[in-house]
RNA sequence: GUGGGUGUAGCUCAGCUGGUUAGAGCACCAGGUUGUGGCCCUGGUGGCCGAGGGUUCGAAUCCCUUCACCCACCCCA
């Protein structure tokens, strides 16, 4: 039996990094006053068909979809935003407050071919502001996204920014771009994928990395010609605010995102420290999504970040994450009499709130001490017949290799006895 | 789905043009210290050489198939 392709096991030495990462994320989210939402990792398939969008690669070929016993179609979530919006509507959050700031952390599933920075079960954190029309919300999301990266120690990610306009502008631009792409002199030179995209989602031709396509697209219309005055104002506010905050960004009019629901502001943070999968986080505004999922027109903006990519980036920066947890006390008992009080000894230590462990294999003292060293124990509590006969135990401070005797009467113990080096 | 690369001990890797019982370092276990970790020394456990088939007197080594992993395309976090 082997684990599924594109999945991985996290062993204790690695899970500590994840716990650390999650706690840093939660701390910054709290500073920004975002509340954590936990939603199912399984949803009706329809949620993603409608929300993420039928034309996206995610829905067309990357979803883990299954049929349950009631003949319902379920899907393992490929992203978090549709679920959050679904919960927002289902719990009628809009009626309680006009604006919600929510974040999530958890696994996502996409049936892609694994490679560096890409897995079939991967983990994202993300934040959504639902009910926020103001461009200051876009800035809040971008700043949040950036502050988490900075807090973690990633200070060289580039911010790429674009506005793809309102839904109407996008529709007009889509039509215009399609006109351009079907011109015979253009279409004949495009690759097969781009000809398909011309029909399905013309914006995505800009994603094509083929040289031939790139050359033909040089004269293609760009989105900014289709932005309305309001779109421009909105985008201008965002770029000027960022400039005012001293946040550098590059505007890329051809950056498109793979999800159907984006409107106006879209952005990505990219790193040079990974391979081809260089997007650490991405997001933008999605003013139409709530309505698409059956709610009232509700503006919203958010982002999602890939946690495996962030950890990989940190490793490439030489940032090792948190220091490993140390054990407070390792208990070494010598002989049967001593072993008979092991349980009570461990219980007393743990009762004081200390972490305590011992040897469960009946090994010699040398092996027990080795185990204590391996566990990073601060002190070893050693006793055999000698000590117990005198009502004493030996307390060895591992780092200083210094040893004292303490009373074997657990009722006299306190934490300080095992923490101080006196 | 399409390319390319790699599969030998728990980990990192040697093993030349096929030649007896497959190696090293680290890790693990034990002893040196019959009651004291890290350093050192000695010894030991551990491999269907990814799997299946073929060529050969003989295959970890050559050929075919297959699987897995990695990297890239595609796409995205």
Digit-coded pLDDT (tens) for A353-379: 999 999 999 899 999 999 999 999 999
pLDDT tens for A10-53 read 888 888 889 999 999 999 999 999 999 999 999 999 999 999 98
Burial A167-195 (b: 16+ CB within 10 A, else e): bebbebbeebbbebbeeeebeeebeeebb
Residue A173 scores a pLDDT above 90: no
Other beta carbons less than 10 A from residue A90's beta carbon:
12
As a rounded value in angstroms, the CA-to-C1' distance for A98 and B76 is 31
For residues A282-307, average pLDDT: 95
Protein-covered nucleotides on strand B (Cβ within 7 A) = 1-3, 28-31, 33-38, 68-77
Q: Give pLDDT tens digits for A113-137.
A: 888 889 999 999 999 999 999 999 9
What value of ipTM does the predicted structure carry? 0.85
CB distance A108 to A306 below 8 Å: no
Which residues are A129's β-sheet partners?
A101, A301
Beta bridge partners of A115: A118
Q: Is the pLDDT of residue A327 over 60?
A: yes
Report the distance separating Cα A120 and Cα A332, nearest Å. 45
**Rounded distance in angstroms from the CA atom of residue A167 to the C1' atom of nucleotide B18:** 68
pTM across the whole model: 0.89
Q: Is the pLDDT of residue A195 over 90?
A: no
- CA atoms in the 13 A half-sphere facing the CB of A165: 19
pLDDT band at A139 (very low <50, low <70, confident <90, very high): very high
Report residue A422's pLDDT band, with 50, 70 and 90 as the boundaries: very low
* Average pLDDT value for residue range A149-166: 91
* Mean pLDDT to the nearest integer, A185-211: 73
Residue A190's pLDDT band, with cuts at 50, 70 and 90, is confident
What residue has its CA nearest to the C1' of B31? Answer: A366
CA atoms of A319 and A312, how far apart (whole Å): 10
The C1' atom of B38 and the CA atom of A378 lie apart, in whole Å, by 13
> What does each C-alpha distance from A62 to A10, A36, A57, A354, A407 come to in angstroms?
24, 27, 7, 47, 64
Mean pLDDT, residues A52-80: 91
Q: pLDDT, tens digit, for every residue of A78-106?
A: 999 999 999 999 999 999 999 999 999 99
Helix (H) or strand (E) holding A230: helix A229-244
Among residues A122, A124, A125, which one has the least CA distance to residue A6? Answer: A122
């Amino acid at each position: 039996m082997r684990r599924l392709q594109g999945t991985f096991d996290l062993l204790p030495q690695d899970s500590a990094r994840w716990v650390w990462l999650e706690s840093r994320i939660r701390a910054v989210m709290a500073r920004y006053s975002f509340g954590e939402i936990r939603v199912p990792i399984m949803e009706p398939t329809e949620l993603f068909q409608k929300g993420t969008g039928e034309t996206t690669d995610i829905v067309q070929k990357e979803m883990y979809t299954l049929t349950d016993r009631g003949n319902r179609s379920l899907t393992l979530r490929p992203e978090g935003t549709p679920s959050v919006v679904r919960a927002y509507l289902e719990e009628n959050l809009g009626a309680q407050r006009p604006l919600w700031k929510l974040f999530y952390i958890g696994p996502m599933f996409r049936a892609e071919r694994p490679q560096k920075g890409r897995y079939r079960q991967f983990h994202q954190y993300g934040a959504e502001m639902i009910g926020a029309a103001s461009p200051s919300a876009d800035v809040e999301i971008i700043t949040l996204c950036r502050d988490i990266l900075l807090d973690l120690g990633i200070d060289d990610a580039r911010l790429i920014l674009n506005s793809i306009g309102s839904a109407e502008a996008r529709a007009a631009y889509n039509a215009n771009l399609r006109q351009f792409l079907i011109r015979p002199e253009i279409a004949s030179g495009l690759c097969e994928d781009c000809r398909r995209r011309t029909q399905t989602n013309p914006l995505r031709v800009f994603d094509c990395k083929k040289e031939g396509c790139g050359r033909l697209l040089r004269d293609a219309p760009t989105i900014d010609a289709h932005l309305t005055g309001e779109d421009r104002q909105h985008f201008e506010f965002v770029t000027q605010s960022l400039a005012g905050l001293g946040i550098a960004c590059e505007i890329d009019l051809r950056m498109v995102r793979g999800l159907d629901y984006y409107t106006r502001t879209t952005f990505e943070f990219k790193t040079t420290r990974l391979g081809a999968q260089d997007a650490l986080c991405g997001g933008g505004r999605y003013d139409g999504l709530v309505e698409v999922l059956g709610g009232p027109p509700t503006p919203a903006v958010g982002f999602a970040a890939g946690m495996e990519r962030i950890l990989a980036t940190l490793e490439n920066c030489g940032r090792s994450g948190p220091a490993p947890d140390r054990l407070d006390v390792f208990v070494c008992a010598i002989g049967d009499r001593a072993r008979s009080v092991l349980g009570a000894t461990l219980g007393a230590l743990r009762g004081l709130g200390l972490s305590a462990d011992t040897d469960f294999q009946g090994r010699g003292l040398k092996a027990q001490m080795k185990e204590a060293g391996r566990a990073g124990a601060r002190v070893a509590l050693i006793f055999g017949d000698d000590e117990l006969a005198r009502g004493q135990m030996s307390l060895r401070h591992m780092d200083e290799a210094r040893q004292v005797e303490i009373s074997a009467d657990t009722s006299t113990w306190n934490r300080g006895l095992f923490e101080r080096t006196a």
